[in-house]
Amino acid sequence: MNIVLFRIDDRCIHGQIIQGWKGLEYQHIVVINDEIAKDKMSKQLQLISVPDGITVYFYNTKEIPDMIRDQAQNTRRTIILVRNVEDALLVVQNGVKVDRLNLGVMSCNSSRTHVVNNAVYVSPEELELLKQIAGMGIRVEAQGVERDTAVKLF
């Protein structure tokens, strides 16, 4: 797998992915999320802005090993998207190799007391999970789009 971005984003595929990360010249998006994977309408909505030529695959979290098997020989420049820290941890625990985890959009809620930037809020529990990910040699940083300066957490 040729992973150019591994990102946590509440909104999965949206304007920031399509317009804000063009410079990566990605050709392939893998979305890993239980709710989206089981809902046809959600999948259709995720796909509407994706330009021709970019392929998209959806998996639920149980299918991560299948995803790794399916995508192993895929050389296309790939973005992996998850919607939360727990799923990001599952991806790397299953053996997906990345050197960086991008925190794109993690919306504010009452338990997310740690403010990283205007779109990334982290709870104490999530901070621990992110530390765990960082402990696997992965740089954890917040960055909305390419033009933003990355804020390194770990």
Partner 1 sequence: MIGIIVVTHGNMCVELIKTAEMVIGECQNIVAIPFLCHESCEERTLKIEQIISQVNQGDGVVIFTDLMGGNCCNISGMFLKDEKIAILTGVNLPMIINLVNHRNEGSFDDIVANVQKAGIKSIVNLREKIEQ
CA-to-CA separations, 63 to 77, 86, 98, 147, 149, in angstroms, rounded: 21, 15, 19, 33, 33
Does 37 participate in binding partner 1 (rule CB under 8 A)? no
Q: Is 10 left (phi over 0), alpha (psi -120 to 50) or beta?
A: alpha
Two structure tokens written together for 142: 């917040």
| Nearest-angstrom CA–CA distance, 122 and 108 | 8
Does 100 participate in binding partner 1 (rule CB under 8 A)? no
**Candidate residues 3, 79, 121, 133; the one interacting with partner 1 per rule CB under 8 A:** 121
Which C-beta is closer to partner 1: that of 40 or that of 99? 40
**Candidate residues 119, 122, 138, 140; the one interacting with partner 1 per rule CB under 8 A:** 119
Which C-beta is closer to partner 1: that of 28 or that of 92? 28
Does 110 participate in binding partner 1 (rule CB under 8 A)? no
Which C-beta is closer to partner 1: that of 56 or that of 129? 56
Candidate segments 65-73, 116-124, 130-138, 145-153, binder of partner 1 by CB under 8 A: 116-124
In the beta sheet, which residues pair with residue 58?
Answer: 31
Two structure tokens written together for 20: 């804000």
